[in-house]
Structure 1
Amino acid sequence: MVTFQFERTAPLPLDEAWRRLTEWTRHGDVVPLTRVTVVTPGPTREGTVFVARSGIGPFAFDDRMEVTVWCPPDDDGGPGLCRLEKRGRTVRGWAEIEVRPGPGGRTRVIWREELRPRLVPSLFDPLVRPVARTVFGRAANRLLRRP
């Protein structure tokens, strides 16, 4: 089991940072070799299910996720929190994306995640953790930069 967290500060209003980070199909545009399909009809809410398919050909796997907490930021500048439960056969765990007011009208993003890759022994956790933090951190950077 690998847990990690990272933070970013973006020059965006809370609601725009939230929109960019929680538009699930966009994650496929910024995570290498990944395509995201939303399974349930929109808009996103608790119970929304989507699948991230990562890899190439026979070496691809599905990372099925369900939104279990959906609290968008409020109009008064209150924070937003989304929690995803990873329920795939290959990857289990959870992810939380939080947005809150930051310095100078910016938005502070806090991303927390627990990964339990089924086929990777815990012996490799010290290697998986920095790779996962880098991959998801770069994805968050790209999502926040692209309108």
Structure 2
Amino acid sequence: MANILLERTAPLPLDEAWRRITRWRRHGEAVPLTVVRVDPPEPTRRGTVVVARSGVGPLSFDDPMEVTVWQPPEGGAPGLCRLEKRGRVVLGWAELEVRPGPGGRTRVLWREEIRIRLLPPLLDGVVRRSSRYVFGRALNRLLRSP
């Protein structure tokens, strides 16, 4: 099992940072070889299922995630979204959080616990490093693009 924590500060209001990191289809634009679909499409709420399909051709797999916590930021209070991974290949959870940061900026946290079925724990370090790289780049892109 690989645990990752990504932290960023962005010159954005809380609600705008939240909007940018929870527009699920944009995650597919930010993560290579990935397409994202959402059911139901809008608005996100508890029970929404986000499916990231990654790979090429027959080497593709679905990473279905169910939104189990949906607390958008309100009145300056932090926002939190938790997704439970429900797939046959990727297991674990992810949390996206926005909170007030220094100097009027927004602090964004992306926490994730990832387990790849059939992958031995010996390779957790590789999963951790590759996930930090891929998701770190995706988070940067999501926060930069309106």
Give the TM-score taking structure 1 as reference length. Answer: 0.97
Deviation at 1:103, TM superposition (A): 1.0
> Are 1:103 and 2:102 an aligned pair?
yes
| Structure 2: distance between partners of 1:103 and 1:22 | 22
Aligned to 1:45: 45
Deviates more, 1:35-44 or 1:105-114: 35-44
Aligned to 1:141: 140
> Are 1:94 and 2:93 an aligned pair?
yes
> How large is the Cα RMSD of the aligned pairs?
0.8
Give the TM-score taking structure 2 as reference length. Answer: 0.98
| Structure 1: distance between partners of 2:19 and 2:129 | 26
| Structure 1: distance between partners of 2:31 and 2:92 | 18
Aligned to 2:7: 7
> What per-residue deviation string (whole Å, max 9, x for no partner) do you get for residues 94-133 of structure 1?
0000100011111000111000111321110111111111
| Structure 2: distance between partners of 1:18 and 1:8 | 13
| Structure 1: distance between partners of 2:131 and 2:145 | 21
> What per-residue deviation string (whole Å, max 9, x for no partner) do you get for residues 63-121 of structure 1?
001000000000x2110000000001100100000100011111000111000111321
Matches within 5 A, 1:8-47: 8-47=8-47
Aligned to 1:126: 125
Deviation at 1:4, TM superposition (A): 1.1
SS in 1 for 2:58: helix
> What runs of 5+ residues in structure 2 fail to find an aligned partner?
none
Over the matched positions of the two proteins, sequence identity in percent amounts to: 71
Letter of the 2:90 counterpart: V
| Structure 1: distance between partners of 2:92 and 2:124 | 14
Deviation at 1:41, TM superposition (A): 3.9
SS in 2 for 1:63: strand
| Structure 1: distance between partners of 2:10 and 2:40 | 29
4+ residue stretches of structure 1 with deviation over 4 A? none
| Structure 2: distance between partners of 1:81 and 1:39 | 19
Letter of the 2:122 counterpart: L
